[in-house]
Amino acid sequence: MLALARIFYFIPALLLGLTLSQAPEFAQQYRQRLGGALDELEAIVQRFTADARRQGLEPQAAIGRLETNPDPLARDRGADMRIVIDRRDRLARQMTAFESGGPFARLAELVVDFDPDLAAGAWRAFEPAIPVTLEGAVAAGAGVLAGLFASEATRVGWKRRRARKLAARRV
């Protein structure tokens, strides 16, 4: 019975360790999608910039002209370009943070400032990998420790609950 209890004690730790060990791989797959999205957004912005300059305008002035155009289609195009440029700038800042940060800073950056569309795409295509980096090992270790803590907290809670029930029966 004691051996079985120990197995159940370590199962949450192992599951959480396994789960967290995948965080660096997810970050890597997210980063690959980030690079692709950034390349595509940059191409769109460059084409728009070239079109604006052929008309003798800077991109922001061209957006302003589109947004004040009486044609709803032109206004929508102006609003869309503003969104595209803002997203490109935000993703470029995130890519710079990924490239300049160490492995743990990349994980923190992913948690703090992820793009929901990119994260959803990365999750749909996610393929687990065996963590062979220090970052993966630390993430797995943190998961195991968190799982052990959760198991111990649950065990202590059960013991206290049982002790209260026994004390209540004695009264």
pLDDT of residue 171: 67
Sorted by sequence, the CB contacts under 8 Å of residue 167 that are 6+ apart come out as none
- In 9-60, DSSP assigns E strands to none
Residue found by looking up tokens 């003798």 in the block: 56
Show the domain range for 103.
27-135
Separation of alpha carbons 22 and 28, rounded Å:
10
Q: What sign for the dihedral angle of Cα 148, 151, 157, 159?
A: negative
In-domain check, residue 88: yes
According to the model, what pLDDT value does residue 133 have?
73
Q: Tell me whether residue 69 is in a domain.
A: yes
What's the pLDDT at 27? 87
Handedness of CA 136, 118, 39, 107 (dihedral sign): negative
| pLDDT confidence of residue 23 | 82
Residue 168 covered by a domain: no
Contact between 30 and 110 under an 8 Å Cβ cutoff? The reply is yes
> Is 15 a domain residue?
no
- From CA 13, how far away is CA 120, in angstroms rounded? 27
DSSP 37: H
In a domain, 14, yes or no: no
20 in a structural domain: no
Q: pLDDT of the chain along its 171 residues, tens only?
A: 566 666 776 777 777 777 777 888 888 889 999 999 999 999 999 999 999 999 999 999 999 999 999 999 999 999 999 999 999 999 999 999 888 877 778 888 888 888 899 999 999 988 887 776 777 777 777 777 777 777 777 777 777 887 787 777 776
Q: Residue 163 domain-assigned?
A: no
Domain count of the chain?
Answer: 1
Cα gap 18→67, rounded to integer Å = 50
